[in-house]
Chains A and B, each alone.
Chain A
Amino acid sequence: MTTHFVNLLEELRRRAARMASLVEDMVQEACESVIDANEALAGRVIRRDNDVDTEEVAVESEVIRLMALYQPVGSDLRLLCAVLKINNDLERIADCAVNVAERARHMERGTLARHRATVTEMATFVRTMLRNAVQSFAVEDVDMARKAFAEEEHVDALYEQIIKQIVAEGATSSEGMAARLDVLSVAKNLERIADHATNIAEDVIFLATGEIVRHTDGVPLSSEG
């Protein structure tokens, strides 16, 4: 029975890691679809969202089933709690990737050109954060999870920079406002992906150590019940 449960947990862990990999690919392709104005790639990202939604429900059902049937404790309990939360963040990241891809379908190229460098830089940081967070889950590595936090302030700074640029452009000309809002939407969704990646990294720290580091700048809150 215990061996069976351990095998089920490992299968769940692999399943969550596979979903993370799929979502990571979606983010990568969504960023490329915007930066390279690749509509075909954008369409592919949008179509894959259904797979993530289906998998999210399946993983959540399996977590609930294992909790109900095996009443896990210790590291097993932490794994199920972490998977439940990471699963939710991955689904939200996929939604953000779809939002980015949808903007790519009708992005006005002239407007994008003025912001391409900043968006590209932001996308690079966000993908690095997500990579570190997902990888830290796969190998349950706290140091790698903490690395995922490191890029967050760069992402926030770039997001702020894009907002300022767009506000400044809007002050000089009201033309092309829709296109500027598309760029803003892309930046906003990238910033959200970074937030979700941070959540995942925090859940990996909980998984590995039992410490809840949310809302604390990495310092554990008292986690007593």
Chain B
Amino acid sequence: MVSETRLDLKEAGVPARISPSGKEQDALSPRAEVSEAVIRADGVTIRYGEFAAVRDVTLDIPDRQVTAIIGPSGCGKSTLLRAINRMNDFIPSMSLSGLLTYRGADIYAPKSDPVDLRRRIGMVFQKPNPFPKTIFKNVAWGATINGYRGDIHELVERSLRQAALWDEVKDKLHQSAFALSGGQQQRLCIARAIALQPDVLLMDEPCSALDPIATAKIEDLIGELKAHYTVILVTHNMQQAARVSDLTAFMYMGELIEFDVTYRIFTKPSKQRTQDYITGRFG
């Protein structure tokens, strides 16, 4: 079965931030011109050996929006997410067919440089994974090894501010990152990803190891981050997808069942399987 074809973003009312002429659009004007997709999957199938974890998925991820991918365990959502910055390359049996592009460039082209790709497409993982270094060095590390020539202190401060962590850590930048709470560590990881000035942020269950208060802070942060970054969020938590995302993709058994603006997915989904999943009838 062929999965759902790509969503017509303009028809779906996805607001544009930048028009082709470069002028900012009113984000509240829902039928404004729509910027083109940042990530585009066209008939993408991902296999681990013989097993197809993602099957023939076609979808467009729009610029400067939060797109959530939901679905039960084993539906292929994390596999698809990790394929976007080639994190699955570390799994020897993985193979990908179809076309997966980032701003028009084939992510899996032989000449594509995964390290450069991961600079542009950052990732935040399920569990906070700070380096065993100071808070400052955690944020500065990626930029430093990439030969950043600007003011590193300014970069660290800006990244921590964007990650809504600056006020909490500004007086202890040279303490170990492990001294931070789980929620702070996760925001530190977001700051670390931001410091590389990426274009896209992939988030794989970023709140699953956090308490409700830390989760709320990350969710608020995601809402703020989309002003600067395209965010793609994999989550088990449907209420979280409903709260923070502009678009939601529902996957089931490797297939993309439905992709639409979040409001519609959670009030009047067009597919029965989506309806059954979001209302807890299965999964």
B30 within 8 A of A: yes
B interface, over-half SS:
helix
A195-217: CB near B (< 8 Å → 1, else 0) gives 00000000000000111000000
* Best-buried of A6, A74, A75, A224 by chain B (most CB within 10 Å): A74
Complex Cα distance, B281 from A5, in Å, reads 10
Complex Cα distance, B240 from A71, in Å, reads 12
Complex Cα distance, B276 from A76, in Å, reads 10
Find B267's partner among A2, A5, A78 (CB 8 Å cutoff). Answer: A78
Give the residues in chain B near A211, CB-CB below 8 Å: 268
Complex Cα distance, B279 from A5, in Å, reads 10
* Best-buried of B242, B261, B263, B281 by chain A (most CB within 10 Å): B281
**Given A209-B268, A210-B268, A74:B279 Cβ within 8 A:** yes
Complex Cα distance, B280 from A209, in Å, reads 20
Complex Cα distance, B279 from A78, in Å, reads 11
Complex Cα distance, B279 from A6, in Å, reads 9
Chain A residue nearest to B238 in the complex (CB): A73
Chain A residue nearest to B269 in the complex (CB): A74
The answer to whether B266 touches A74, judged by C-beta atoms less than 8 angstroms apart, is: yes
Give the residues in chain A near B274, CB-CB below 8 Å: 74
The answer to whether A210 touches B280, judged by C-beta atoms less than 8 angstroms apart, is: no
The answer to whether B278 touches A74, judged by C-beta atoms less than 8 angstroms apart, is: yes
Give the residues in chain B near A6, CB-CB below 8 Å: 281
The answer to whether B268 touches A73, judged by C-beta atoms less than 8 angstroms apart, is: no
**Given A2-B280, A2-B281, A224-B30, A71:B239 Cβ within 8 A:** yes
B35 within 8 A of A: no
Q: Tell me, rounded to whole Å, the shortest Cβ–Cβ distance linking A10 to chain B.
A: 13
B51-69: CB near A (< 8 Å → 1, else 0) gives 0000000000000000000
Q: Tell me, rounded to whole Å, the shortest Cβ–Cβ distance linking B249 to chain A.
A: 16
Chain A residue nearest to B262 in the complex (CB): A225
Complex Cα distance, B280 from A89, in Å, reads 30
Interface size on A, residues (CB 8 A): 18
Give the residues in chain A near B281, CB-CB below 8 Å: 2, 6
Find A5's partner among B239, B261, B269, B280 (CB 8 Å cutoff). Answer: B280
Complex Cα distance, B281 from A223, in Å, reads 25
* Best-buried of B239, B261, B269, B279 by chain A (most CB within 10 Å): B279
A77 within 8 A of B: yes
The answer to whether A73 touches B261, judged by C-beta atoms less than 8 angstroms apart, is: no
**Given A2-B280, A210-B267, A210-B268, A74:B275 Cβ within 8 A:** yes
Complex Cα distance, B278 from A71, in Å, reads 11
Chain A residue nearest to B277 in the complex (CB): A74
B241-283 contacts to A (CB < 8 Å): 242, 261, 263-264, 266-269, 274-275, 278-281
B114 within 8 A of A: no
Give the residues in chain A near B267, CB-CB below 8 Å: 73-74, 77-78, 210, 223
A72 within 8 A of B: yes
Give the residues in chain A near B264, CB-CB below 8 Å: 210, 224
Complex Cα distance, B239 from A52, in Å, reads 35
The answer to whether A224 touches B13, judged by C-beta atoms less than 8 angstroms apart, is: yes
A48-72 contacts to B (CB < 8 Å): 71-72
Give the residues in chain B near A224, CB-CB below 8 Å: 13, 30, 261, 263-264
A71-115: CB near B (< 8 Å → 1, else 0) gives 111111110000000000000000000000000000000000000
Complex Cα distance, B275 from A76, in Å, reads 9
The answer to whether A73 touches B13, judged by C-beta atoms less than 8 angstroms apart, is: no
Chain A residue nearest to B283 in the complex (CB): A2
**Given A210-B268, A224-B13, A224-B30, A73:B263 Cβ within 8 A:** no
Give the residues in chain B near A75, CB-CB below 8 Å: 275, 279
The answer to whether B261 touches A74, judged by C-beta atoms less than 8 angstroms apart, is: no
Complex Cα distance, B278 from A76, in Å, reads 10
B15-61 contacts to A (CB < 8 Å): 30
**Given A5-B280, A224-B13, A224-B261, A73:B266 Cβ within 8 A:** yes
Complex Cα distance, B266 from A223, in Å, reads 13
Q: 9 closest Cβ contacts across the A-B interface? A: A210-B268, A2-B280, A73-B266, A225-B263, A73-B278, A74-B279, A74-B278, A76-B279, A74-B275
Residues of A in contact with B (beta carbons under 8 Å apart): 1-2, 5-6, 71-78, 209-211, 223-225
21 contacts between A and B (CB under 8 A): A2-B279, A2-B281, A6-B281, A72-B279, A73-B238, A73-B266, A73-B267, A73-B279, A74-B266, A74-B267, A76-B279, A77-B267, A78-B268, A209-B268, A210-B264, A211-B268, A223-B267, A224-B13, A224-B30, A224-B261, A224-B263
